Amino acid sequence: MLTILLMGLALGVPVPESLAGLMEHAALQIRQGNYQSAEPLVAEILQRAPQASSAHNLLGLLRLGEGQFDQARQAFADAIRLNPDSTPAHVNLANTLVRLKQDQAAIKEFERALELRPDDKTALFNLGLVLGRNAQFEPATRPLRRAHALDPADASVTVALASAEIGSHHPPQAEPLIRELERRGALKSTIRTSLAMLWLENGEAAKGAALVSNDPERASDYYQTAWRLAQDSSDAGKYARTASILEGIKGLRTPTAEFHDLLGSAYYALDDAKRASDELQDAIQMEPAAPDHYYKLGMVFLKHRTPEPAIYVFKEAVEKRPDVPKLWMGLGLSYYIENQFDEAKKVLYQTIALDPTYAPAYTVMCDMLIQKGDDEEAIKVLTKAIAIQPNLYLLYYYYGRALGHRSEVDTEEVIKMLRKAVELSPDFPEAHFELGKALEAAKRPVEAIGELKKSVLLKPQLEQAHYRLSQLYRESGNTQLAEQELRAFREIRKSGAGDEMVQQLIVSFQGR
Amino acid sequence: MPVFRLLLLLSLALAGYGQMRAQASAMQEKAAAKAKAGAHPAEARSLFDSAMLYHQRRDFSKSIATLERLIVLEPDRAAAHIMLGLDLFQTGRAREALEPFKRGITLDPASVEGLFYLGLCYLSMDREDEARKAFDRLAAKAPSDADQTYLLMKGLSRMSTAMLGRLSSLGQDSARMHQVRAEYYEMQDDPDRAIQELEEAIRERPDLPSLHYAVGVVYWKKSEPQRAKVALTRVIELDPRHFMARLRLGMVLLELNEEASAAVQFRAALTEEPGLNLAYLGLGKALYKQGAMEAAVPQLQRYIELTPDDPAPHYILSQIYRRLEKSDQSQRELAIFKAKTSQTKEGQSEMK
């Protein structure tokens, strides 16, 4: 909050003796909030000294006190016109501009006041506050550091400076100031909370937690805010921030299974398998019947291509929660990655029986059947699946692929299915690629090139699409583009960036 | 006097007794904390005192925050968990109160107040079986002396009558009074009048899932599955987390030969309450009836794990294994079924 000070009684413009007494009296009335009594006094002063800057400054203070900000601004502007070097008039005008929510103009006025009087603590303090209010923390630290140096005992200045230092990501500067406030007993509960929230917003959740940990109510509010922020950060894909917040507030409340789960998920996304596994195991210990914890733990192992422990986790899980389709799907996927196809198939059929609408089970199942060459079985599964879920793009994608593998291929049917997949999910690169291949087989090279180009646009590391494109360009006589695509193909192959569908499945299922 | 009223009376009186016990227990805790003052920070003691103060002033947001902090410092303080449960319950957060009560009771199995309010939480969520178990545990704490137990029961009965009078004074035609009368008629085996009363109650309070649930259950018992389905579906619309309604609806749907929909309800019930043993049995049956034999097996096995004395799933398993041409396993399950059935019969004849 800006401090409005009564200033301008010691002025450069000479005034008659009796006028000075009158002005002192008027200033006292304003200071005490007796605006009605001050009104005739100020009128008389202005009548007697219409050219005195101090008289207009006094009028400005009166109007400011009455809440008539526009009139106050005019009066301070008049005071400055009459005496451009009046520091108090500049400060008062700046404060009025702040009230009028004209922060940029206010900043200029404060800066002008400081040019005239560099050690004006009020101007330094208020300038720092306005800059801080506009999230300009780094610039705010400069005037506030000066104000603090002028009066280290002023708690308001110290708090403002500490806030600006936190906002500027200067923990080493902020911490001694907070300790200083603590030592002086100036850290009131509300200040503590504000500083804690600032630490939290600036990525130092643990420091914020330390500030409020001794006040249960504040700690509870802080915990809840931090928890929500951690969840939002996780939703926004900011996993490092999620982990940092959760680690910071761990000591404020007994962590719940949900807490461990979120922290584990963050570490999972950050590829910290050890911590992810530890946190998720803690979650399982606390909620042995909650399927999500097992699922995520299993996925940690699958992500790192260690299906054996994943199988162990999922087996444990389905014993406790045989009703949850995604746990069976996780087990099926683990068997698939471990090349135990029969087990995988059995488990995936069970998953589909348990929930015929569970799309990921069909995805894994069809991917596996097609990889193994069981196209006819895949088609059977897909026919049933499409009847249940006619709007799931993946089903048409796999259907098209399975049809394409038949010895006698009905190319038009393949194209129809893949077009449906593309129509339902235009951003799915693999469907464009398969459609491109089918169109190429149907001797429609122009359309084929169009689809293949879309696929590499959506997923540049799709090496096979580059290869097919190079072939098609060569056939059409465009050797330059053919060479370009071939180079792209070779580079991707060399870097090993081309991934498999299974890896994609793991990624696409994570966090579900 | 109807049994349900006696139970009500018993609960209420024990609540009073529980309060006294809680105070005594709080004093003991205080003494213990004092004794451990050297090892424990004084902060924990003062936090407990503050929480107690806020609790007495019914300033629950403060007491809850204080107790949550205290539990971090002293996770094994039973009274803190129970007080947290009480405060959550008082603020209408019965579902959240369950865990603190359970934890408190684990730490202090003698906590009468914890058990009583745990039972109330279950009742407020229509989890009758779990409520009954909590009250049974509570009743087991009554004196073993017959005279004292009799007097306690009599006192509780008087208190119940007084509470009924108080409820009545709040409105003869209130939804809760209709509900009380419906419960009475149900005990009297008069489902038609029970339904009549519940319909009246629903007219008063159409927003209360419990009333729709109660009428759904009566319809089901009356073998009117279509009406039960409508009422239970309404419960789920009002409270999608009402897993008891989902369980009942699953059973009704099984009776109506809508196995796929039944499976959906059983799975949804288990998502909410993974320990709901009957939902595994229901899901197993639903899958079996749809011909998904392999998928039914783990559901039934899980049910057996949770409810080892029930012979029924073994029979279904024997049928499944027979169809899967696993005759050894089928025979084994049939043998278990027979053995468990005869055990149950023996148990029943001994009871007679």
Question: Which pLDDT belongs to residue A166?
Answer: 94
Q: Which of B69, B71, B287, B324 to mutate to test the interface with A (most CBs of A within 10 A)?
A: B69
A221 touches chain B (CB under 8 A): yes
Distance CA(B17)–CA(A98), nearest Å, equals 63
pLDDT, tens only, B36-60: 443 345 678 888 999 999 999 999 9
Residue A507 pLDDT level (bands cut at 50, 70, 90): low
Binary contact (A219, B65; C-beta < 8 A): yes
Residue A315 pLDDT level (bands cut at 50, 70, 90): very high
pLDDT, tens only, B137-179: 988 888 888 898 888 888 888 988 999 999 999 888 899 999 9
Q: Does the pLDDT of residue A15 top 90, yes or no?
A: no
Contact partners, residue B100, CB within 8 Å, separation at least 6: B81, B82, B84, B85, B88
B28 touches chain A (CB under 8 A): no
B43 touches chain A (CB under 8 A): yes
pLDDT, tens only, B87-104: 999 999 999 999 999 999
Structural tokens at position A477: 């006589």
Question: Which pLDDT belongs to residue A506?
Answer: 58
In chain A, pLDDT over 70 holds for what percent of residues?
A: 93
Tell me the nearest-neighbour CA distance from B82 into chain A, angstroms.
16
Nearest one of B258, B171, B248 to B215, comparing CA atoms = B248
Binary contact (A354, B47; C-beta < 8 A): no
Question: Which pLDDT belongs to residue A351?
Answer: 95
Q: Say if CB A249 and CB A241 are below 8 A apart.
A: no
Nearest one of A405, A331, A335 to A368, comparing CA atoms = A335
Distance CA(A95)–CA(A66), nearest Å, equals 14
Higher model confidence: residue A510 or residue A100? Answer: A100
Question: Which pLDDT belongs to residue B35?
Answer: 38
Torsion angles phi and psi, residue B340, rounded to 5 = -70, -35
Binary contact (B274, A354; C-beta < 8 A): no
Q: For the whole model, what pTM was predicted? A: 0.74
Give me the long-range contacts of A17-24 (CB less than 8 A, separation at least 24): A19/A45, A19/A48, A19/A49, A19/A52, A22/A48, A23/A54, A23/A55, A23/A58
B302 touches chain A (CB under 8 A): yes
Tell me the nearest-neighbour CA distance from A189 into chain B, angstroms.
15
Topology of domain B3-161, CATH: 1.25.40
In chain B, pLDDT over 90 holds for what percent of residues?
A: 68
Question: Which pLDDT belongs to residue A385?
Answer: 87
Specify whether the backbone of B189 is left (phi greater than 0), alpha (psi in -120 to 50) or beta: left
Q: Which residues of chain B are in CATH 1.25.40.10 domains?
A: 3-161, 171-239
Q: Count other C-beta atoms under 10 Å from residue B296's C-beta.
A: 28
Distance CA(A179)–CA(A184), nearest Å, equals 9
Question: Which pLDDT belongs to residue B346?
Answer: 62
Residue B115 pLDDT level (bands cut at 50, 70, 90): very high
Domain ranges of chain A: 1-117
Distances (CA, A) of A264 to A289, A308, A321: 17, 20, 21
Q: Which residues on chain B are in Cβ contact (under 8 Å) with A251?
A: 72
Residue A501 pLDDT level (bands cut at 50, 70, 90): low
Tell me the nearest-neighbour CA distance from B77 into chain A, angstroms.
13
Tell me the nearest-neighbour CA distance from A219 into chain B, angstroms.
8
Structural tokens at position A42: 């100020």
Nearest one of B133, B132, B131, B85 to B108, comparing CA atoms = B85
Residue B7 pLDDT level (bands cut at 50, 70, 90): very low
B61 touches chain A (CB under 8 A): yes
pLDDT, tens only, B122-147: 999 989 889 999 999 988 888 888 89
Distance CA(A323)–CA(B276), nearest Å, equals 11
Nearest one of B300, B303, B346, B343 to B319, comparing CA atoms = B300
Q: Give the pLDDT mean for A313-322.
A: 96
Q: What is the ipTM of this complex?
A: 0.74
Chain A residue at shortest CA distance from B280:
A323
B42 touches chain A (CB under 8 A): no
Structural tokens at position A211: 């500030």
Question: What CATH number has the domain spanning B171-239?
Answer: 1.25.40.10
A252 touches chain B (CB under 8 A): yes
Binary contact (B295, A354; C-beta < 8 A): yes
Q: Does the pLDDT of residue A10 top 50, yes or no?
A: no
* Segment holding A308, helix H or strand E: helix A307-320
Which residue among B66, B290, B301 sits closest to A216, beta carbon to beta carbon? B66
The superfamily CATH assigns to domain A1-117 is Tetratricopeptide repeat domain (1.25.40.10)
Binary contact (B69, A216; C-beta < 8 A): yes
Binary contact (B302, A253; C-beta < 8 A): no
B347 touches chain A (CB under 8 A): no
Distance CA(B182)–CA(B196), nearest Å, equals 8
Distance CA(B254)–CA(B247), nearest Å, equals 11
